[in-house]
Structure 1
Amino acid sequence: MSGPASPSLPDLAASGLPFALIARDDRTVEVLTGDVVDVDLLADIPLTGASGAPNEVLALVPFRQVRERGFECHDDGAPLRCLIVQDRASLPRDEALAQLPTAAVALENPGFDIADEEYAQIVRRVIADEIGRGEGANFVIRRDFTAGVSTDAATAALTWFRALLEHERGAYWTFAVVTPGHVAVGASPEAHVSARDGVVTMNPISGTFRHPAGGATPETLSEFLRSTKETEELFMVVDEELKMMSAVCSDGGRITGPHLKEMSRLTHTEYVLRGRSRLDPRDILRETMFAPTVTGSPMQNACTVITRHETTPRGYYSGVAALFTPRVPRQAQQPGGAGEATHDLDAPILIRTAYLQDGRLRVPVGATLVRHSDPYGEVGETHGKAAGVLGAIGAVPRDIEAESTAAGSEVIDEDAPAAAPRRLADDPAIADLLASRNGRLAEFWLNPQGSGEPGPFEGRSALVVDAEDRFTTMLAHQLRHLGLEVEISPWSEVTDAQIDAAELLVTGPGPGDPRDVSSPRIRRMREVVARRRAAGRPLLAVCLSHQILADTFGIDLAPLDAPHQGLQKSVDVFGVPASIGFYNTFTARVPAGTTRAGEAEVAADAAGDVYALRGPGFASVQGHLESILSRDGMTTLQRLVEQALSPVPA
């Protein structure tokens, strides 16, 4: 579709050929056409054509691709679908609107596949059986709004795309992807990951404020921003995405924000994470599958929990639409420069999206469940998210008064494009509330990292054992800033020889009950800790591993009365106060006032819950010093590493 002629969108829909429409700003609509190829793996995405020239590719990545990382899921066989772009054009937004159909698409027998009370029961079970038993900090469980559609699929796609362009605002991508047998139309608020010229960006969004009838105001939004649940929910997903950033970026990632993501019917809170990486964009995509905002944390166990509580496959929900665009590296752009062409990546999350297949509309929506979730509040959140999509595409009545308030005008014509928005973020009180959140966070992740000076442990090395919580990638990043050369090994792969040879062994956090020896993972972590302690070699144990270490000293392990998932606490770590983030459901517990257990010195609170141990050649901590919630994380980590590396008396 290159050349002077502008494409006719109705003709394109009538042609039966695959196409995609993407609006990434408020001025233009990108029109992509080409050939569709389904592949098995992300590595198979055809970024290079038969001639060796780079391809532009738009890939729809289904949730089932988490199998590439060894994670569980209901496998529905949804294809990793690639549109290999042969032609692209850009239409002015107004010209695109003039070509798009306006007649409403009728829905037949609409409703949720899971009743409200049944969904509330699922919420209760997840809080009690998963969060309450240490399986993770938060989980996203979905339900689907479904309906029959008799309108031609391509026509429905154009109609809904037009409605989203007109009536939704604040979306990162507004899009329609029409391929054989499948349509996806949405307005995703969230850029999961992008990579441009070596800079990787992630955009964790969490916390959902449903605009009241008549629209949002600074007063109603302020109440939402003061919510402990909503604040902690955002902090938890930032921690989870920083795990991913630390895995793909040499500098670990730096956070900026928080900001508001203001849409027509919903407002979210968000941060932006940035770092540098030289990885192939397909590898970046693999290492960041998928956003914790639509799965939970820790990610691997979240997939297991989703499989337990969602009885049907997700399809493309919570996957990504990934656009790989060829570019020439900077060095090849200089006179006489050389370099191979590579690709930039732009990948929004597939949420706020309607899917149409075999005459059935499906709008999946989910709520993030945390330790103090209200079941009926989470039911209401799914209604709000579904109504946001359905109202935007004209499938249910729109809140015209709310759109008027959002657009900053007295009256709004339902069939007219939205006026320029009046931003709630511009209100000084709202800006102050947002900024105040960073006072709780670790400066290490907010500021440029490193002075260029050698770290205090320069020339020394550590092996980190991952117990299925990628907090270990953040922990490894911090250890490298302290000067250590760090390697990470999964619990299932680490060998006894590696354990014995490590100069410093760091046994990491993970989900589950530390007493559950029926779990192969827990059993192996117990073996690792016991072997290292018996050798008297330097050991640092974190969270789950801290509990396992405490057990070797005869300290009792017990569940907390209320899980400490995403909780910030100020504790005394052997005479030094520290603000630390906790993600634990179980605790090591001693009688109140106990300060020693065998050769271990004990730091515990007034109730006897143990948050640190130290002794000759070892140290441990219950909290996550790598978390953004650990304002004193780096200084405390340095102290504990010094303790672990201190010579053991003969």
Structure 2
Amino acid sequence: MDTLLSRLLASDAPLALIRRHDEPFVHVLGGSIVDVDSLDAIPLARDGVPADVLALVPFRQIAERGFEAKDDGTPLRCLLVDERETVAVDELLARLEARPGRLQNGAFDTSDADYARIVRTVIDDEIGAGQGANFVIRRDFEATSELPPRAAVLAWFRELLLAERGAYWTFAVHAPGGLTAPAASVSLVGASPERHISVEPDPAGGAAVATMNPISGTYRHPAGGPDPDGFLRFLQDAKETEELFMVVDEEMKMMSRICGEGGRIHGPFVKQMAALTHTEYVLKGRTRLAPVDVLRHSMFAPTVTGSPMQNACSVIARHETSGRGYYAGVLALFEAQPDGSHTLDAPILIRTAYVSGRPDGGSRVRVPVGATLVRHSDPESETAETWAKATGILRAIGALPRETDAPKQTVPRLADVPGAEALLAARNERLAGFWMAQQYPRPGVGGATLAGRSAVIIDAEDEFSAMLAHQLRAAGMLVEVRSWRSVTDSSFAGADLVVAGPGPGDPSDLADPRIARMHELVRDRVASGLPLLAVCLSHQVLCLQLGLPIERLASPHQGLALRVPMPGGPATVGFYNTFTALAPAGVELPGVELSVDPRGQVHAVQGEGFASVQGHLESVLSLDGNAVLLGLVERLLGVREDAVVG
């Protein structure tokens, strides 16, 4: 029978094989290859007719957002889909040749000792200096195979169909170069657990629905299979839970930019795969942006970069030894709809092997893996984690021998383990209800209103500013976000409120142009007597200008929810800070009210025309954040006399 699959398997033509979730069939895509320079250049129409495209988006494309990345020349390669069909998994298994495809000469490109040194440097010099909460630093496992690239990815895709379960996408792509794609051929195979972002029609009409899928926390199954008791212990591990919350915060920043009505948190859920299980949330919101713009605004996932995102990209560029290629980028499938629009489905490119040709007809194989570094990371443990990830991927595709001595048994569905549902649900008690609910324009707390009042938020390179903007818009305010680089005095003309936003770094480092500019902006706004709210970094800047000392914390507050004094009473607020302002014993600042904890740390400041907070009232960790924020803003704008929590 002359099928698309038959023709593709009998030639060296470009192809993509995609199994979404655990569907009983595989999507087979064929067509031609073209390289483009930017997301806007992805050819979503041919001869004026909307068409399907599978785009391989490399990490260096994040430069389109103005973020730093090593330019390694990896192409933004597009498969222009001319033909497609679906084939049952069992039929495809019968058609694909079972070939061993084992590896030789395997080693990391960066030695264990060198990688451990890089990890220590990032912990001490970046996280310890307040540059961010966490960073993902990768290295590449490299090896050779006797199979040519196309045969290798097809053989290993077959192994994934047999052995993997629960992946968001299982895929193989062979995209040879040519006249319209002069860069080298690209072949890859993998099983990504994580949707980066998708865009689908809204059943209610009008806007589309954007969905993100933050995943964090990993329970590695023992050799004999998953253990229910071990899984329950994993669900109670505070570190695993906090890491997931931090990722949710980062992706909610993106959703707040992409979705005019904000994003809503759903979950948590369990993602069970063959050798490990993750916990995850699903974030949904309505958007009127085109799918290409949604993809651009969401480049790339914090789970494979770090936070805050912009500074994470700079840290990666400083410390990784080479460009990332497609690692941490996405496979983006744009599918044309009858009305001429496109849907988007884009998994993160992780747990993927990249295969290139050798002169002898065999292949070079590269498997990039990264470790997430936080303040308490141990370099040796993070080095071991990269080994575990690399060998896990290679075993999954059959390139390394699998453990075969474990007895075959029925694998329990971990989400159904007694007690699991309650433990998962309990996590949401630690998340702000504002972000769990449907958001819409509404009056502020206490029956007062901010509707029609205006605000300018100064983005100091932390996109928490987008979440702040959404909270204020939900209260009816008109909000504009401006970068610290572009904001001028005229930017504030007519604005009722200026919000000096959060950002990474040492607030006393005036040699940093960003820090120096934030000092200037805060000083000028306070001098004007017009309403100012300062958050996190900008709170520290304001405290310095009030004469309060700043101290580096012995243990940074990164992704912590703390009960702290705030105007109007104690509040639970999320923190991401390495530095803190201190109030020396007996200090008095005329006309200024300080909210200080027993350690002397200043959590909030109120004065005539200004207020500031150290914590992130916009964080999903801030149970009382929205109420405190609106209370402070209403007081600054003269809507109410006090700031009440609750």
TM-score (norm 2): 0.93
Q: Does 1:233 align with 2:243?
A: yes
How far residue 282 of structure 1 moved from its aligned partner, in angstroms, is 0.3
Q: Distance in 1 between matches of 2:640 and 2:520?
A: 21
Candidates 418, 426, 443, aligned match of 2:416: 426
Whether the aligned pair in 2 keeps the contact of 1:208 and 1:381 (CA below 8 Å) is no
| More off after superposition, 256-265 vs 296-305 | 256-265
Whether the aligned pair in 1 keeps the contact of 2:29 and 2:84 (CA below 8 Å) is yes
How far residue 292 of structure 1 moved from its aligned partner, in angstroms, is 0.2
Deviations 1:486-543 (A, max 9, x none): 0000000001222354210001000011011111111111111011011000000000
Please name the residue that 1:634 is paired with.
Answer: 626
Write out aligned runs for 1:171-570 (5 A): 171-180=167-176, 181-197=185-201, 198-329=208-339, 341-358=340-357, 359-400=363-404, 404-405=408-409, 408=410, 421-450=411-440, 456-570=449-563
| More off after superposition, 518-527 vs 211-220 | 211-220
**Measured at CA, do residues 422 and 541 of structure 1 come closer, stay the same or move farther in structure 2, by a change above 3 Å?**
same
Whether the aligned pair in 1 keeps the contact of 2:449 and 2:639 (CA below 8 Å) is no
Deviations 1:423-476 (A, max 9, x none): 111112222222111111100111222475687201211000000000000000
Write out aligned runs for 1:556-635 (5 A): 556-592=549-585, 594=587, 596-635=588-627
How far residue 374 of structure 1 moved from its aligned partner, in angstroms, is 2.8
How far residue 401 of structure 1 moved from its aligned partner, in angstroms, is 5.5
Candidates 1, 7, 12, aligned match of 2:8: 12
Please name the residue that 1:23 is paired with.
Answer: 19
How far residue 640 of structure 1 moved from its aligned partner, in angstroms, is 1.1
How far residue 384 of structure 1 moved from its aligned partner, in angstroms, is 2.3
How far residue 403 of structure 1 moved from its aligned partner, in angstroms, is 8.5
Residue identity matched to 2:366: R
Residue identity matched to 2:572: S
Q: Does 1:38 align with 2:35?
A: yes
**Measured at CA, do residues 435 and 399 of structure 1 come closer, stay the same or move farther in structure 2, by a change above 3 Å?**
farther
Deviations 1:240-283 (A, max 9, x none): 00000000101110011111111111211111000000111000
Q: Distance in 2 between matches of 1:490 and 1:15?
A: 51
Q: Distance in 2 between matches of 1:312 and 1:593?
A: 53
How far residue 117 of structure 1 moved from its aligned partner, in angstroms, is 3.2
**Measured at CA, do residues 490 and 451 of structure 1 come closer, stay the same or move farther in structure 2, by a change above 3 Å?**
closer
Q: Distance in 1 between matches of 2:396 and 2:371?
A: 20
Whether the aligned pair in 2 keeps the contact of 1:618 and 1:643 (CA below 8 Å) is no
Q: Distance in 2 between matches of 1:456 and 1:404?
A: 63
Write out aligned runs for 1:108-123 (5 A): 108-123=104-119
**Measured at CA, do residues 498 and 368 of structure 1 come closer, stay the same or move farther in structure 2, by a change above 3 Å?**
same
Please name the residue that 1:81 is paired with.
Answer: 77
Residue identity matched to 1:37: V
Please name the residue that 2:148 is paired with.
Answer: 152
Candidates 35, 41, 44, aligned match of 1:47: 44
How far residue 14 of structure 1 moved from its aligned partner, in angstroms, is 4.1
Q: Distance in 2 between matches of 1:481 and 1:529?
A: 25
Please name the residue that 1:416 is paired with.
Answer: none
Whether the aligned pair in 1 keeps the contact of 2:28 and 2:87 (CA below 8 Å) is yes
Deviations 1:559-604 (A, max 9, x none): 111100101100121341100000000111111464x424321111
Q: Does 1:60 align with 2:52?
A: no
Whether the aligned pair in 2 keeps the contact of 1:461 and 1:485 (CA below 8 Å) is yes
Q: Distance in 2 between matches of 1:641 and 1:8?
A: 61
Whether the aligned pair in 1 keeps the contact of 2:443 and 2:451 (CA below 8 Å) is no
How far residue 287 of structure 1 moved from its aligned partner, in angstroms, is 0.0
Q: Distance in 1 between matches of 2:388 and 2:436?
A: 32
Q: Distance in 2 between matches of 1:38 and 1:607?
A: 57
Q: Distance in 1 between matches of 2:421 and 2:101?
A: 40
Whether the aligned pair in 2 keeps the contact of 1:6 and 1:91 (CA below 8 Å) is no
3-state DSSP class of the match of 1:597?
coil
Whether the aligned pair in 2 keeps the contact of 1:508 and 1:542 (CA below 8 Å) is yes
TM-score (norm 1): 0.92
Whether the aligned pair in 1 keeps the contact of 2:458 and 2:499 (CA below 8 Å) is yes
Q: Distance in 2 between matches of 1:642 and 1:126?
A: 41
Deviations 1:179-203 (A, max 9, x none): 1121010100000000001000000
Write out aligned runs for 1:162-177 (5 A): 162-177=158-173
3-state DSSP class of the match of 2:541?
helix
Gaps of 5+ in 2: 177-184, 202-207, 358-362, 642-646
Deviations 1:333-382 (A, max 9, x none): xxxxxxxx100000000000000113210011111111222333322322
Whether the aligned pair in 1 keeps the contact of 2:371 and 2:386 (CA below 8 Å) is yes
Whether the aligned pair in 2 keeps the contact of 1:64 and 1:74 (CA below 8 Å) is yes
Gaps of 5+ in 1: 330-340, 409-420
Whether the aligned pair in 1 keeps the contact of 2:456 and 2:482 (CA below 8 Å) is yes
3-state DSSP class of the match of 2:128?
helix
Please name the residue that 2:182 is paired with.
Answer: none
Residue identity matched to 1:208: T
Whether the aligned pair in 1 keeps the contact of 2:44 and 2:334 (CA below 8 Å) is yes
| More off after superposition, 556-565 vs 279-288 | 556-565
Whether the aligned pair in 1 keeps the contact of 2:5 and 2:28 (CA below 8 Å) is no
How far residue 159 of structure 1 moved from its aligned partner, in angstroms, is 0.1
Deviations 1:35-68 (A, max 9, x none): 1010000011011112x10010000000000110
Whether the aligned pair in 2 keeps the contact of 1:616 and 1:643 (CA below 8 Å) is no
Please name the residue that 2:179 is paired with.
Answer: none
3-state DSSP class of the match of 1:261?
strand
3-state DSSP class of the match of 1:133?
coil
Note the aligned Cα RMSD (angstroms).
1.8
Q: Does 1:138 align with 2:138?
A: no
3-state DSSP class of the match of 1:493?
coil
Q: Distance in 1 between matches of 2:391 and 2:152?
A: 18
Q: Distance in 1 between matches of 2:442 and 2:337?
A: 31
**Measured at CA, do residues 401 and 491 of structure 1 come closer, stay the same or move farther in structure 2, by a change above 3 Å?**
farther
Q: Distance in 1 between matches of 2:130 and 2:234?
A: 28
How far residue 402 of structure 1 moved from its aligned partner, in angstroms, is 5.9
How far residue 398 of structure 1 moved from its aligned partner, in angstroms, is 1.3
Q: Distance in 2 between matches of 1:648 and 1:87?
A: 63
3-state DSSP class of the match of 1:509?
coil
Please name the residue that 1:97 is paired with.
Answer: 93
Deviations 1:406-437 (A, max 9, x none): xx1xxxxxxxxxxxx53111112222222111
